[in-house]
Amino acid sequence: MASMVGQATLGKEELLETAGLMVEFTRARGDHLYYLDENGKERQVLDLVGGFGSTLLGHNHPELVELLTRCLAQQRPVHAQGSRRQQASELKQALADYLHQHSGERYKIYLLNTGTEAVEAAIKHARYAYAQRMEAMSDACAANARELQIRLERGEIQIDAPLLQQAERLLQHEPLDHVDALLSAVNQRNLQALATAPLMAALPYAFHGKTLGSLALTWNRDARLAFVRNNPDALFVHEPSQFLAQLREHSVSVYQFEFQPLRLVERRLPRLAGLIYEPLRGEGGILELDAEFRTLLQALREHHPEVALIADEVQCGLGRTGRPIESAAQGLPADYLTFAKSLGGGLCKISALAVRESLQHREFGMLHSSTFAEDDLSARVALRSLEILQRDAVAQRCASLGEALLEGLQALQRAHPELIRAVRGRGCMLGLELQDLSEHRSPLLASLAQEQLLGMVCAGHLLHAHGLRVLPSLGRRSVLRIQPSAYLQPADLQQALQAFRALFETLAQGNLQSLLAH
């Protein structure tokens, strides 16, 4: 273990391997994973990771396993594209009803495969809506130019020198000496403006997936920079209070004539097609949105209702935070929402994009589709998962588990303020941030911290010494993520807190031999 210190550029796999985290689990049930030790004996591990939030219902939920087994035994179809997908439509209805119940809004649902694909679909829908607006504006500009010509022909108006001069100033154009030159200059400007590519905005420390579109909006530089760098179409909101002013710079201008009195006017259209946000950021280190971002979302809603506000609830949604829809619980506007992880009940790969009914484009379902989307098997499992979520009041369960876990972790922080920087999050989506120990008196601890390996080492120790599985956030490696299922038993909760207590006592005593031995 000590040999890993000094190797700053270990890849993810090597890091996990060296920290003793690359265990092959052979069985999973509820909040537990099992592996075989070197003597072939089955060892139990309390799992607070799952698929970084995908096991809200626990591993291999018995009702879902039974359902899946029955579907297979009955030879239910899985893939039948171009036919009536009854299971998929029931799921869409159930998810739309869930959203309506908890947000008061009506959404149209599209089913997809993974979290990142739901985000891609959201970006595509926002870009499509933008393109449609530009198309409509282009028609409006053409109609406006025709109206000018008709009025000229009828002699209702005339183009005089002051108008030409006003147009020159507005367009910052060289002298326009004739109506045809004026019309052609306006037309050219408008065509250019309306062909401008849209922008998408995202928040710092948010994670949206690793396919190219969502990666461009993902903060994590290790994940992004090798593929997407200096992308002019992606904006990160660094200064929320300045963002609306910044939007003016990121706008295009189209020019139209007004007739009473006759003059050329400029209309600015924001290039921003959408802004995506994680209501509670997971991969970035369990970070809540600060008030400034919430104010920005409200201001965008008010001043730019055409900009699609996308709540990425892939990780925090469907009750994990202790609230059925995290964005709605925070009173944040959400034109679109994305869901994945918990939707498949921890067994199936399935995701969903929800678009407010008044904003959805009917043809979008054809424009974004996939061989594997809407398959009967995952639709059935997701439908049943939604039923279980509601029947078992999973959000409330998460809320009370979260309170108990937070209370225990906060007590630990009070006991070890020099080791624990923060404890945060809500429901079953919590994080424990280690202090920056890069100046610690123990050289080994200091170098582990400097190399951002301390979180990994702590996770390895918890796994092997205490049978507890947590992992650091890859976006912020000093944060241990804690994401149990909604069914974590009181004894398990105590085991988890006891393991954390023991870890921090070991660290406080500077007992690094014990930390690294496994």
Q: What is the maximum alpha-carbon separation in the chain?
A: 98
The minimum distance between CB 223 and ligand F0G, in angstroms, equals 9
Q: Cα 382 from chain centroid?
A: 20
Q: Which helix (H) or strand (E) element contains residue 458?
A: helix 454-466
Q: Is 125 in the site for ligand F0G (CB under 6 A)?
A: no
Sole window of 264-272, 312-320, 396-404, 506-514 interacting with ligand F0G (rule: CB under 6 A): 312-320
Of 247, 253, 233, nearest in space to 191 by CA? 253
Q: Is 115 in the site for ligand F0G (CB under 6 A)?
A: yes
| Euclidean distance between CA atoms 107 and 353, whole angstroms | 9
Give 150-200 as a DSSP string: HHHHTTS----HHHHHHHHHHHT-S---SHHHHHHHHHHHHHHHHTPPPEE
The answer to whether residues 116 and 208 touch, using CB atoms and an 8 Å cutoff, is: yes
Strand 199-202 versus strand 234-236 pairing type = parallel
Q: Is 278 in the site for ligand F0G (CB under 6 A)?
A: yes
Strand 251-259 versus strand 280-281 pairing type = unpaired
| Euclidean distance between CA atoms 58 and 236, whole angstroms | 35
- Single out the residue of 105, 283, 335, 376 in contact with ligand F0G (rule: CB under 6 A): 283
- Single out the residue of 198, 209, 279, 346 in contact with ligand F0G (rule: CB under 6 A): 209
Crossing angle between the packed helical segments 86-103 and 376-391, to the nearest 10 degrees: 30
Sole window of 110-118, 128-136, 404-412, 439-447 interacting with ligand F0G (rule: CB under 6 A): 110-118
Q: Is 208 in the site for ligand F0G (CB under 6 A)?
A: yes
- Single out the residue of 312, 326, 375, 451 in contact with ligand F0G (rule: CB under 6 A): 312
Sole window of 157-165, 278-286, 388-396, 482-490 interacting with ligand F0G (rule: CB under 6 A): 278-286
Q: Which of 213/282 has CB closer to ligand F0G?
A: 282
The answer to whether residues 339 and 365 touch, using CB atoms and an 8 Å cutoff, is: no
Give 242-260 as a DSSP string: GHHHHHHHTEEEEEEEEET
The answer to whether residues 135 and 286 touch, using CB atoms and an 8 Å cutoff, is: no
Please list every residue from 287 through 306 that binds ligand F0G, using CB under 6 A.
Answer: none
Sole window of 41-49, 192-200, 277-285, 302-310 interacting with ligand F0G (rule: CB under 6 A): 277-285
Strand 272-277 versus strand 199-202 pairing type = parallel
Q: Is 30 in the site for ligand F0G (CB under 6 A)?
A: no
Q: Which of 437/471 has CB closer to ligand F0G?
A: 471
Please list every residue from 318 through 347 that binds ligand F0G, using CB under 6 A.
Answer: 340
Q: Is 374 in the site for ligand F0G (CB under 6 A)?
A: no
The minimum distance between CB 482 and ligand F0G, in angstroms, equals 13
Q: Is 203 in the site for ligand F0G (CB under 6 A)?
A: no
Residue 463 CB contacts under 8 Å (≥ 6 apart), including other chains: 20, 21, 23, 45, 469, 518
Sole window of 2-10, 114-122, 172-180, 196-204 interacting with ligand F0G (rule: CB under 6 A): 114-122
The tokens describing 397, both together, are: 């369960």
The tokens describing 137, both together, are: 């504006």
Q: Is 375 in the site for ligand F0G (CB under 6 A)?
A: no
Q: Which of 113/413 has CB closer to ligand F0G?
A: 113
- Single out the residue of 46, 194, 314, 328 in contact with ligand F0G (rule: CB under 6 A): 314
Q: Is 282 in the site for ligand F0G (CB under 6 A)?
A: yes
The answer to whether residues 348 and 378 touch, using CB atoms and an 8 Å cutoff, is: yes
Q: Which of 283/433 has CB closer to ligand F0G?
A: 283
Q: Report the residue number whose CB is nearest to ligand F0G.
A: 115
The minimum distance between CB 314 and ligand F0G, in angstroms, equals 3
The minimum distance between CB 375 and ligand F0G, in angstroms, equals 16
Q: Which of 87/116 has CB closer to ligand F0G?
A: 116
Q: Is 220 in the site for ligand F0G (CB under 6 A)?
A: no
Q: Is 116 in the site for ligand F0G (CB under 6 A)?
A: yes
| Euclidean distance between CA atoms 177 and 159, whole angstroms | 10
Q: Is the dihedral of CA 454, 458, 459, 465 positive or negative?
A: positive
The minimum distance between CB 480 and ligand F0G, in angstroms, equals 13
Of 200, 426, 235, nearest in space to 310 by CA? 200
Q: Is 378 in the site for ligand F0G (CB under 6 A)?
A: no
Strand 308-312 versus strand 287-288 pairing type = unpaired
- Single out the residue of 18, 21, 32, 52 in contact with ligand F0G (rule: CB under 6 A): 52
- Single out the residue of 315, 342, 447, 485 in contact with ligand F0G (rule: CB under 6 A): 315
Count of positions on this chain that bind ligand F0G (CB under 6 A): 15
Q: Which of 121/458 has CB closer to ligand F0G?
A: 121
In order of 271, 366, 375, the CA distances from 84 in angstroms are 39, 15, 11
The contact set with ligand F0G (CB under 6 A) reads 52, 114-116, 119, 207-209, 278, 282-283, 312, 314-315, 340
